[in-house]
Amino acid sequence: MSDEQRFLDRLAERNAQRGNEPSWIAARRQAGAARFEALGFPHRRVEDWKYTNVRDIARTDFTLAGDAEFSPATAAALTLPVDAHRLTFVDGVFAPALSALGDLPAGVQVLPLSQALEDNHEAVGGPLGRLTGVDFSAFAALNTAFMEEGAVVRLAPRTLVEKPIVLQFLSRDGETPVMSHPRILIEAGSGSEATVIEHHVGEVEADNFTNLVEEIILDRGAILTHYKLQEAPLKDRHIASIHVEQARDSRYQSFNLNLGGGLVRNDLVTELNGEGAEAVFNGLFYGQGRQHIDNHTWANHNAPRTFSHENYKGILDDRAHGVFNGKVVVRRDSQQIEADQSNANLLLSDRAEIDTKPELEIYADDVKCAHGATTGQLDENAVFALRTRGIDEQTARGLLTLAFAGEVMDRVKLDAVSARVELTVAGKLPERFNLAGLVETASALNEES
């Protein structure tokens, strides 16, 4: 039996348990399964998958989780300490007991996909799958075949959500490996604004597979800040296909922070469809042990006067392997666009590896584009300089490693997120977060004297 057939058999089992579904869902399921079967798991002869081997996913017999039971104490320890509207999923299954939406502003909906389908499946059916079709990849097709849970976020025009919306995905250390195929759909109405934190985390020994598809639709002038904090357990596999569609004057800011996961692949695509639309891709990947982290990004400038800025930082230790492939595509009539792209990598070990490829495809003539990639090591003179001030070597190296990620991390406005990154990347450092306000205090003292 082929690997693909094993997944299709699991699908058939699951389908047999399902009740009646709206016909459009059943049809998409079928289309997804057919496309997955036709494409098969990607192999490394395919350019987009040249450096990432998914055989471990293909060969593992994953089942689907049947419940969302999770130790509340463990969940509490894993949850980001932020005051937020929170939905939690355990191995892809919605966990009401671990969710707390609180009071959402009028015009704002945050709900599990299952609930959204039950409330009004037609409202979901329109946008769902429009950006990420089954042709995007075998994984997107597989997700479509299995889709049943996830999150739907809808912002009515001109609504502002002050607290972040947290979508938490917990991976459980179960008896056998499980897979989940969550869908996230975010529709931000014109002039609305929100911050979404997608947080992937789990029990240390978990050994699962998350195959995520996200579609984000920003209407005129909508502003979305999207943190993807990926702290999955080190044996977990994580594949994410994220598509963003941006209307005129919208702004999408992504923080793609990858700290965990054994095998990780993110595809992040934005379609800049309206003048004045801007996308900011901030990325950080930190790999240790034998982690493999692959980020593919696309900024498609489909309209004139659109803007994209990308800055990805990679830090690789031990035998970790990082992949960065960033593509900027400027359509023929997309004049006066600005795009810049940079990927800098820090190798902390001789055996760590990075494959980086920034690409520009420009079919317009009046454009401002820049790209570059660098790879280096820690500055030993700086390590020495810090140590001569009494700072121990481990802290000095941690500080400098974190400093390398600085430009990306300085933009993170949520201390709870920064603190998680800092702890993973640099270990325990002397109270970096206690500096806020110190200098202002000093300046005030100066003015008094």
Partner 1 sequence: MLEVKDLHVTVEGSEILKGLSLTIQPGEVHALMGPNGAGKSTLSAVIAGKDGYEVTSGSITFDGQDVLEMEIEERAQAGLLLGFQYPVEIPGVKNIYLLKAALNAQRAARGEEEIAAPDFMKLVKEKVSFMKMDTSFLQRAVNEGFSGGEKKRNEILQMLVLQPKLAMLDEIDSGLDIDAMRVVADGVNSLRGDDKGILLVTHYQRLLDYIVPDRVHVLVDGRIAKSGDAELARELESRGYDWVVEDSAA
Binding test (CB under 8 A) with partner 1, winner from 403, 415, 418, 427: 403
Query: Could you tell me which of 156, 160, 154, 206 has the C-alpha nearest to residue 180?
Result: 206
Give the CA count within 13 Å in the CB-facing half-sphere of 363. 10
Q: How many residues bind partner 1 (CB under 8 A)?
A: 36
Q: At its nearest, how many Å lie between partner 1 and the CB of residue 297? A: 24
Distance CA 3, CA 421 (A): 36
Among 344, 404, 417, 421, binds partner 1 (CB under 8 A): 404
**From the DSSP assignment, how many helices (H) and strands (E) are in the chain?**
11, 21
Residues 222-261 that bind partner 1 (CB under 8 A): none
Closer Cβ to partner 1, 23 or 381, answer by number: 381
- Candidates 351, 406, 423, 428; binder of partner 1 (CB under 8 A) is 406
Of the ranges 43-51, 158-166, 238-246, 426-434, which one interacts with partner 1 (CB under 8 A)? 426-434
The answer to whether residue 430 forms part of the interface with partner 1 (CB under 8 A) is yes
DSSP string, 121-167: HHHHHTTTTTSS-TTS-HHHHHHHHH---EEEEEE-TT-B--SPEEE
Which window, 125-133, 303-311, 357-365, 429-437, contacts partner 1 (CB under 8 A)? 429-437
Residue 399 within binding range of partner 1, rule CB under 8 A: yes
The verdict on 1 binding partner 1 (CB under 8 A) reads: no
Task: Report in angstroms how near the CB of residue 446 gets to partner 1 at its nearest.
Answer: 6
Candidate segments 83-91, 111-119, 265-273, 432-440, binder of partner 1 by CB under 8 A:
432-440
DSSP letter for each residue of 160-187: B--SPEEEEEEE---SS-EEE--EEEEE
- Which lies closer to partner 1 via its Cβ, residue 33 or residue 344? 344
- Binding to partner 1 (CB under 8 A) within 169-208 occurs at none
- Of the candidates 263, 250, 357, 259, the one whose C-alpha atom is nearest the C-alpha of residue 310 is 357
Q: Give the amino acid at 217.
A: I
Closer to partner 1 by Cβ: residue 114 or 395? 395
Q: Which of residues 20-39 bind partner 1 (CB under 8 A)?
A: none
- Quick check: 348 binds partner 1 (CB under 8 A)? no
* Site string (374-393) toward partner 1, x via CB under 8 A: -----xxxx-xxxxxxxxxx
Contact between 400 and partner 1 by CB under 8 A: the answer reads: yes
Long-range contacts of 419-426 (CB under 8 A, 24+ apart): 420/80, 420/229, 420/231, 420/259, 421/229, 421/257, 421/259, 421/284, 421/286, 424/231, 424/259, 424/260, 424/286, 425/259, 425/286, 425/315, 425/398, 425/401, 426/398, 426/399, 426/401, 426/402
Q: Which residues bind partner 1 (CB under 8 A)?
A: 379-382, 384-393, 395-396, 399-400, 402-404, 406, 429-432, 434-435, 438-439, 441-443, 445-446, 449
